[in-house]
Each structure stands twice: as structure tokens, then as C-alpha cells.
């Protein structure tokens, strides 16, 4: 069986040739201190974040787009592949998407983990390339396409033409940083301490980057959070408004916009002309933040589109590669093949 893997900082997805997406779980491993063996992986492990007793740690092995914990990363890949393949046909070819910032050492670690999970051959493909393929952009044509993939730990901005990445930026700002900005805001402005899961809930419920025309109702929404008062240490609830949360998110959102600008500035003029004409495509979970498309469009003067199913683009791109192993030579040829 051939499989494509989106090894994301927040979520890992697997695609099986001929079947489609067969697994979609958080990239989290819960380990018992001392023993180093995984107690839970994926969805079950994410439930434990912020709730574990002292002796259990919930690890996100790829947190900031780099592998922070090799053993946990290997364990996670093995676990997911075994779960998806269920013991059948272990001699597997794999196309694994990795953040474009990973080092050669980390690439080796990912290849090693994939092989220990049963891969016979491993191709690594750069995340923005997979995202662009999955979003349906014409990556092999001479036309320049710009994709902005906003994941949990990183945002990858790339201009692609003729099957290759012409220019790219990888910044360590993504959904996690948006969550942290909410946590910081609530602590500074309201002296309330909230957990990272709560901050993510706030972002998904009422977060936005720009007012969305036609959704004025949304502007009046509020969200009640529970946390701990900084001074008294006692539990307290607080009602947050859409405007407050937007202000809290301003800094990381501006960082994403700055990366889009910098990539455009580095781009050869012919290709930036193509991007001006055809627009920028947003993928990854961060693309779901309401108004982010409008805000980037307003700052860059270029039309911006959110891909269909932005959370699935990368794994669908790697899935296209496993379905068309032979005809997608140009893309895979640039990826690393390790025997
Ligand atoms: P990665 O590829 O790094 O695993 P994903 O593309 O899976 O990341 O996106 C995960 C991120 O998207 C998380 O930070 C999550 O909070 C964020 N996200 C998911 N849904 C939404 C939403 N509706 N609004 C804003 N952010 C979202
Ligand atoms: Mg991703």
C-alpha cells in the first residue's frame, strides 16, 4: 500500500492510495515520565493537554515546525501508520510532507521513522508544494502561483512555477501564536490566566482578522472563558468581545502579512504579475480565521482566496503524488528519495 502523510505541527493526516484520507488526528503524544513509552497518541493524547498529572506529559513532537522530540515523533508516525495500514502490506511507499524549514538531521529522522513504520521507499515533499497541489493550483505550468499555508506552528509562504518552489518563507507564526496572543491579552488586560486549549476555543469561536461584510451579527458575539485570577488565584469567568479578540490577534496577523509582502518582493517580476492576476491561495487551519483573506487582500492589493477544505490540502497534495507516482516525476524528482 502507498500512503501520503501530512506531518503537521497540529494535525497529522494520512492518505491511502485508492482510498483517500484514512486518518486525521492531532500530532500529540502523551508519555509517562521516566519510561518514555507512549501512553496515548493522537486524539486521545490531545484530550490530556493541560489536564495531565505531574508524571504524564503531553508532547507535540513538531510544535514549532521543527522536531522537538525525535523519539515521540517516531513513535507517533509508527502508531498512525500501523493504525491506518492495520498490518496489511507493510512494504509501503510513502510521500511525507515536511515543513520547509526542517534541517537535514530532521529529514533523516522523519525518513528513519517512516522506514521503521514499514516504508520501503520514502519521498519527502515540501509542505507548500503539497498544499499548492492539494488546493488545485497549476504547479507544473510556467505560471506563478502563490500559496500561504497557515498551520499550527508555522506559516509557509511560497511562489511555485514549473513544478518547483521559486521563492519561499517559513515563519514560526501560526495558529499556536494566535492562541498565545489571546492568552497574553487576557492576562495583561484582565489579570486572568487561561489555558492554551481555552485560548484556541476563543479563537475558533469568535476570532477574526477583519470585519466580514454581511456578517455584522458576528461582530456582536461574545465568548465566556473560565480561568484563574492572577492575584487571588481563584476561578473566575470573563466575557470576551469580537473586537477585543481581533485586537489581541493583530500582531501575529501582521507578521503573516509581512511574510507575504517579503515573498512578493523577492519574486521575479513575471511571476509576481501572475500572482497579481490570479491571486493568492490560503491553506491550512489558519485560513479558516474569518476576515484573514480580506485583510491580506487589503494589505497587498492582490485578490486572496481560501482553498476548499484548507485543513486537507497538504494531505490531498501528497495523496495526488501517491496516486500519480509515475507521472508526477517533476515534483517527486525534486523531493528526496531515500532507499
Ligand atoms: P498543521 O499543518 O501545522 O498541523 P493545520 O493546518 O492542521 O496545522 O491547522 C491547525 C491550526 O488551525 C490550529 O492552530 C487551529 O487552532 C487552527 N484552526 C482550526 N480551525 C480554525 C478556525 N475555524 N479558525 C481559526 N483557526 C483555526
Ligand atoms: Mg500543515
pLDDT by residue (tens digit) across 177-201? 999 999 999 999 999 999 999 999 9
Does the pLDDT at position 334 exceed 60? no
DSSP β-bridge partners for residue 239: 224
220-273 pLDDT, tens digit each: 999 999 999 999 999 999 999 999 999 999 999 999 999 999 999 999 999 999
- Choosing from 5, 9, 10 the residue with most ligand 1 atoms within 8 A of its CB, the one to mutate for a pocket test is 10
Q: Give residue ranges with CB within 6 A of ligand 1.
A: 8-11, 151-153, 175-176, 200, 203-204, 207, 284-286, 288-289, 311
Give distance in angstroms: CA of 94 to centre of ligand 2: 17
DSSP β-bridge partners for residue 267: none
Atom 9, ligand 1: residue with shortest CA distance: 285
Residues 6+ apart with CB under 8 A from 195: 50, 183, 227
Positive or negative, the CA dihedral 246, 247, 252, 254 is positive
Ligand with an atom nearest the CA of residue 126: 2
Looking at per-residue pLDDT, the higher value among 150 and 48 belongs to 150
Atom 17, ligand 1: residue with shortest CA distance: 285
Residues of 285-298 as b/e, b for ≥16 C-beta within 10 angstroms?
bbbbbbbbbbbbbe
- Report the predicted TM-score, pTM, of the whole model to 2 decimal places: 0.94
Q: Output the pLDDT for position 263.
A: 96
Atom 8, ligand 1: residue with shortest CA distance: 151
Rounded to an integer, the average pLDDT of 115-140 is 92
Amino acid at each position: 500500500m502507498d500512503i501520503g502523510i501530512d506531518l503537521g505541527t497540529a494535525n497529522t493526516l494520512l492518505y491511502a492510495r485508492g482510498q483517500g484520507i484514512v486518518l486525521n488526528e492531532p500530532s500529540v503524544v502523551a508519555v509517562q515520565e521516566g519510561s518514555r513509552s507512549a501512553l496515548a497518541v493522537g486524539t486521545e493524547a490531545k484530550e490530556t493537554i493541560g489536564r495531565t498529572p505531574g508524571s504524564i506529559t503531553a508532547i507535540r513532537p513538531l510544535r514549532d515546525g521543527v522536531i522537538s522530540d525525535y523519539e515521540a515523533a517516531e513513535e507517533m508516525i509508527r502508531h498512525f501508520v500501523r493504525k491506518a495500514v492495520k498490518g496489511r502490506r507493510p512494504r509501503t511507499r510513502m510521500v511525507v510532507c515536511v515543513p520547509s524549514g526542517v534541517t537535514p538531521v530532521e529529514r533523516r529522522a522523519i525518513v528513519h521513522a517512516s522506514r521503521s513504520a514499514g516504508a520501503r521507499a520514502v519521498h519527502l515533499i515540501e509542505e507548500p508544494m503539497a498544499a499548492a497541489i492539494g488546493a488545485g493550483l497549476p504547479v507544473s505550468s510556467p505560471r506563478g502561483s502563490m500559496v500561504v499555508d497557515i498551520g499550527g506552528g508555522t506559516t509557509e509562504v511560497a511562489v511555485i512555477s514549473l513544478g518547483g518552489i521559486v521563492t519561499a518563507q517559513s515563519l514560526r507564526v501560526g495558529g499556536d501564536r494566535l492562541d498565545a496572543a489571546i492568552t497574553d491579552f487576557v492576562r495583561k488586560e484582565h489579570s486572568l490566566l487561561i489555558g492554551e486549549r481555552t485560548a484556541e476555543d476563543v479563537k475558533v469561536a469568535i476570532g477574526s482578522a477583519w470585519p466580514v461584510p454581511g456578517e455584522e451579527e458576528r461582530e456582536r458575539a461574545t465568548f465566556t472563558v473560565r480561568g484563574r485570577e492572577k492575584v487571588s488565584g481563584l476561578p473566575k469567568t470573563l466575557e470576551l468581545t469580537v473586537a477585543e479578540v481581533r485586537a489581541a490577534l493583530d500582531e501575529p496577523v501582521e507578521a503573516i502579512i509581512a511574510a507575504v509582502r517579503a515573498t512578493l518582493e523577492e519574486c521575479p517580476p513575471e511571476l509576481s504579475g501572475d500572482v497579481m492576476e490570479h491571486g493568492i491561495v490560503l491553506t491550512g487551519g489558519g485560513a479558516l480565521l474569518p476576515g484573514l483573506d480580506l485583510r491580506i487582500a487589503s494589505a497587498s492589493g492582490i485578490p486572496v482566496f481560501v482553498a476548499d477544505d484548507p485543513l486537507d490540502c497538504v494531505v490531498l497534495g501528497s495523496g495526488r503524488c501517491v496516486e500519480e507516482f509515475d507521472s508526477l516525476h517533476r515534483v517527486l524528482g525534486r523531493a528526496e528519495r531515500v532507499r
